[in-house]
């Protein structure tokens, strides 16, 4: 594909267009409704249409504007990020939200070659506080805040 000057933008745009078309196709069986009384198909169809437009613009940019090539696939990052999310989901009943979130952010940070433990720890603490405020205080989810021996 010699006519694509920025493969990153081009393929991102194609991905957006694909997801937009799928959203419109899936929601086409639902009633649209009106702006004052929206039906179940109103939002997914509108969002899918916007995604198609945005994707087309990004793909066109990939054809017109030079940009970087797609970087090599990094399996280490994929394994770290997906693995820690799975481990977090399994471990949070025993570790609690605070310790589980700090560990999730800290271990996931190893996926980057720019890992700095101070930044990872700080981010983990800030996000753990945010997780408690949003999910436990705000949404009232029944999750342990601290590890299991401290919750009794």
Q: Which residue ranges make up each domain of the chain?
A: 7-64, 75-150
Q: State residue 145's pLDDT score.
A: 87
CA–CA dist 67, 81 (Å, integer): 27
Q: State residue 13's pLDDT score.
A: 96
Are the C-beta atoms of residues 64 and 14 closer than 8 Å to each other? no
Q: State residue 21's pLDDT score.
A: 97
Three-class SS of 7-70 = HHHHHHHHHHHHHHHHHHHHHCCCCCECCCCECCCHHHHHHHHHHHHHHHHHHHHHHHCCCCCC
Q: State residue 113's pLDDT score.
A: 79
Element at 136 (helix H, strand E): none
91 phi-psi bin (left φ>0, alpha ψ -120 to 50, beta other): alpha
Q: State residue 25's pLDDT score.
A: 95
CA–CA dist 152, 150 (Å, integer): 6
Successive 10-residue mean pLDDT values, the chain, 152 residues: 83 96 93 86 93 96 86 83 89 89 88 85 93 92 81 60
Q: State residue 36's pLDDT score.
A: 86
């Amino acid at each position: 594909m010699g006519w694509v000057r920025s493969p990153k933008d081009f393929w991102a745009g194609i991905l957006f267009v694909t997801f937009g078309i799928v959203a419109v196709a899936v929601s086409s069986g639902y009633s649209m409704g009106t702006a004052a009384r929206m039906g179940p198909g109103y939002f997914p169809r509108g969002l899918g249409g916007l995604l198609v437009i945005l994707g087309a613009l990004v793909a066109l940019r990939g054809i017109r504007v030079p940009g970087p090539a797609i970087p090599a696939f990094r399996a280490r990052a994929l394994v770290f990020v997906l693995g820690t999310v799975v481990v977090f989901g399994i471990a949070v009943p025993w570790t609690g939200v605070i310790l589980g979130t700090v560990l999730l952010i800290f271990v996931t940070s190893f996926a980057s070659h720019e890992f700095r433990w101070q930044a990872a720890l700080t981010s983990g603490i800030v996000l753990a506080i945010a997780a408690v405020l949003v999910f436990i205080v705000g949404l009232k989810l029944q999750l342990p805040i601290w590890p299991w021996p401290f919750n009794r």
